[in-house]
């Protein structure tokens, strides 16, 4: 405490032991002296107006001219403003500080207590093991985080930045010296060299690795946060985004990957993580991995139950009713880490990953139920295991009950072997979900009821994300209806939505007649599946002409052909599955 006492007793602050380390003017040092006296008297903070009035008494409000020194001390990192909301000091005008309260920062208090802020590093010695090496590397990430916080709140060239940067340079030099003295090659250092990971990529990797060890739900996984760690200004932020985009070294070489999710403002954010094999080799270098993650595609090919779908379009590519989109976006927010943490804390969820949801998509054929299921999977970065429920009886005559259970058992087995959670899609699930027979029932009815009972049991206990599609919700047995926590209706598109669909599906590079108006096509009441089929059939029709040109008449004739051949008003043929 000698430094503190010396500073308090100084009649002339320029003669105190720490004055040269403050890098500030005499007026600023006098302010620090004033606040320090109040601090040891039991006041954590002081009002700026009270301080400047006492220090600079006089007429004509001359004390207002000294407010700039308060701002300088905030920028230097010796003072902090008592505020409930984060502020960027560089954007604050001196006059805004007049009626605020300020206090001494931990850095200044440490200076008063120890007399210096220099980093006292231990003697350079070889690393005993990779955990000791990781400890230094994680301290390195802490310093990068401190620099990020300072850049966000104070002027970029403040003493705070310089001080932390000096510590960082000393630490990085010491890490390198210790690595050179270590006889046995360190796992992580060897990995960096093998994968040719540069210094910025190392910081990103180490930040993600630190998150794995700390098991926190926060922060460092988000794209902008990682970029801010290694970027000094806006130019560097733009340049460094390439390190986390598709095709970058870390992603292309399967070192890290990301999940996309909706943020509370409706945008898409990316949360990054180290891929499982790499993480295993770094965290447990002495252990060989007992379970090899198998590829889902290879396992699906070995059985004849599911079709594996790798979705190509996201929800952004689908035209949906407003209420339907809102429901799906709310569902996607379940993967947000803060939301998951709350649900686990409240006892609603038992695990901190994945979505538990049983969903029915219902509506007329051709309204995009299956396509939306695929698009939802794409937005969640999931694969889809699809099963066509209309084939259940023909595939498993005589063993229907046994094989309904097999659908779910096979799904869980594939999840366990591949360590993934694909979406289970049950297409055309009407006969599973329909009302069960009662009264005088035949043997076939009894078999059908038993099959449905088993299906009901599996739905009740399902873990993961399941989507069932059906054309008519009113026929669903109430017992099934209660088991689904999302029931999402797909209505036939209105005129505005039909116009969107035509715009999306019409060939972009094709020649059209003068005066061609999509709005005229949108007048016809069609589903998305019908529009898709009509565009395809019209394209074949025009392509064989000597002078291929799309005309409104071509489309209208195909529309009339489709509507006249549509035997069931609730069913349309088309490659956009319902």
Query: What are the structural domain ranges in the chain?
Result: 2-114, 130-283, 296-490, 495-564
pLDDT value of position 62: 86
Same-fold call for 296-490 versus 495-564? no
Cβ-contact 283, 208 below 8 angstroms:
no
* 495-564: in CATH 1.10.8.60: yes
Q: CA quadruple 426, 429, 433, 438: dihedral positive or negative?
A: negative
Q: CA quadruple 401, 418, 269, 320: dihedral positive or negative?
A: negative
pLDDT value of position 197: 92
Q: CA quadruple 266, 272, 275, 280: dihedral positive or negative?
A: negative
Mean pLDDT of the chain: 80
Nearest to 472 by CA among 483, 464, 463, 480: 480
Cβ-contact 480, 389 below 8 angstroms:
no
Chain segment 538-578, per-residue pLDDT in tens: 999 999 988 899 999 999 999 999 888 654 443 333 333 34
Instruction: Assess whether pLDDT exceeds 70 at residue 290.
Output: no
Banded pLDDT at 293 (limits 50, 70, 90): very low
Least trusted range by pLDDT, from 137-146, 327-336, 534-543: 327-336
Q: Are strands 423-427 and 384-388 parallel, antiparallel or unpaired?
A: parallel
pLDDT value of position 108: 87
Least trusted range by pLDDT, from 107-121, 235-249, 489-503, 523-537: 107-121
Q: What average pLDDT does range 78-104 have in this prediction?
A: 77
Tell the CATH topology of 296-490: Rossmann fold (3.40.50)
CA distance 15 to 7: 9
Question: In Å, what is the CA distance from 550 to each residue of 235, 272, 522, 534?
Answer: 47, 46, 16, 13
106: enclosing H helix or E strand: helix 106-114
- Write down how long the chain is: 578
How many CA atoms lie less than 13 Å away from 532 in the CB half-sphere?
Answer: 17
156: enclosing H helix or E strand: none
DSSP 512: B
Q: What is the dihedral of CA 339, 341, 347, 351, to 10 degrees?
A: 110
DSSP symbols for 65-82: GGHHHHHHHHHHTSEEE-
CA distance 336 to 346: 16
Q: Taking the complete model, does pTM exceed 0.85, yes or no? A: no
Instruction: Assess whether pLDDT exceeds 90 at residue 35.
Output: yes
CA distance 101 to 282: 47
Cβ-contact 81, 45 below 8 angstroms:
no
CA distance 325 to 299: 33
Q: What average pLDDT does range 40-57 have in this prediction?
A: 90
DSSP 331: H
Q: How many Cβ atoms from other residues are within 10 Å of residue 11's Cβ?
A: 6
Least trusted range by pLDDT, from 205-209, 266-270, 463-467: 266-270
List the alpha helices (DSSP H) in 509-551: 518-521, 528-543
Nearest to 372 by CA among 330, 422, 336, 425: 425
């Amino acid at each position: 405490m000698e430094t503190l006492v010396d500073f308090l007793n100084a009649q002339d602050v320029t003669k105190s032991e720490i004055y040269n380390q403050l890098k500030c003017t005499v007026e600023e040092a006098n302010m620090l002296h004033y606040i320090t006296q109040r601090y040891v008297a039991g006041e954590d903070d002081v009002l700026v107006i009270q301080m400047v009035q006492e220090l600079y008494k006089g007429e004509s409000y001359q004390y207002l001219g000294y407010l700039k020194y308060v701002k300088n001390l905030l920028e230097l990192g010796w003072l902090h403003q008592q505020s409930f909301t984060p502020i960027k000091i560089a954007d604050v005008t001196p006059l805004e500080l007049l009626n605020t309260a300020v206090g001494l920062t931990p850095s200044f208090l440490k200076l008063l207590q120890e007399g210096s802020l220099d980093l006292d590093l231990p003697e350079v010695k070889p690393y005993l093991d990779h955990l000791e090496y990781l400890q230094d590397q994680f301290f390195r990430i802490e310093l990068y985080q401190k620099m990020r916080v300072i850049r966000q709140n104070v002027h970029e060239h403040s003493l705070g930045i310089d001080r932390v940067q000096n510590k960082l340079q000393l630490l990085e030099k010491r890490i390198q010296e210790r690595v050179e003295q270590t006889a046995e090659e360190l796992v992580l250092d060897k990995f960096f060299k093998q994968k040719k990971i540069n210094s910025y990529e190392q910081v990103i990797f180490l930040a993600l690795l630190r998150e794995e060890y700390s098991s926190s739900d926060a922060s460092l996984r988000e794209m902008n946060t990682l970029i801010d760690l290694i970027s000094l200004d806006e130019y560097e932020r733009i340049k460094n985004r390439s390190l986390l985009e598709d095709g970058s070294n870390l992603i292309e070489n399967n070192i890290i990957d990301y999940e996309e999710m909706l943020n509370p403002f409706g945008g898409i954010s990316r949360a990054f993580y180290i891929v499982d094999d790499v993480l295993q080799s770094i965290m447990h270098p002495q252990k060989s991995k007992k379970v090899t993650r198998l590829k889902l595609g290879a396992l699906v090919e070995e059985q004849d139950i599911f079709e594996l779908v790798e979705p190509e379009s996201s929800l952004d590519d689908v035209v949906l009713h407003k209420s339907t989109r809102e429901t799906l976006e709310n569902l996607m927010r379940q993967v947000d880490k803060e939301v998951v943490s709350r649900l686990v804390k409240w006892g609603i969820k038992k695990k901190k990953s994945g979505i538990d949801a049983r969903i029915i998509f219902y509506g007329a054929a051709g309204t995009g139920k299956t396509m939306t299921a695929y698009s939802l999977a794409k937005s969640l970065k999931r694969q889809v295991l699809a099963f066509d429920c209309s084939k259940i009886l023909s595939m498993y005559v005589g063993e229907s009950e046994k094989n309904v259970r097999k659908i779910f058992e096979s799904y869980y087995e594939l999840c366990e072997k591949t360590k993934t959670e694909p979406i289970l899609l049950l297409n055309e699930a009407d006969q599973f979900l329909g009302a069960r027979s009662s009264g005088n029932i035949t043997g076939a009815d009894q078999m059908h009821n038993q099959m449905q009972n088993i299906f009901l049991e599996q739905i009740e206990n399902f873990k993961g994300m399941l989507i069932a599609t059906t054309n008519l919700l009113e026929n669903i047995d109430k017992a099934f209806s209660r088991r689904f926590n999302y029931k999402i209706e797909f209505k036939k598109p209105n005129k505005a939505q039909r116009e969107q669909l035509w715009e999306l599906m019409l060939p972009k590079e094709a020649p059209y007649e003068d005066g061609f108006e999509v709005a005229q096509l949108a007048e016809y009441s069609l589903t998305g599946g019908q529009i898709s089929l009509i565009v395809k059939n019209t394209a074949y029709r025009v392509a064989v002409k000597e002078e291929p040109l799309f005309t409104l008449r071509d489309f209208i004739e195909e529309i009339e052909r489709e509507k006249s051949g549509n035997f069931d008003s609730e069913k349309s043929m088309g490659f956009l599955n319902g």
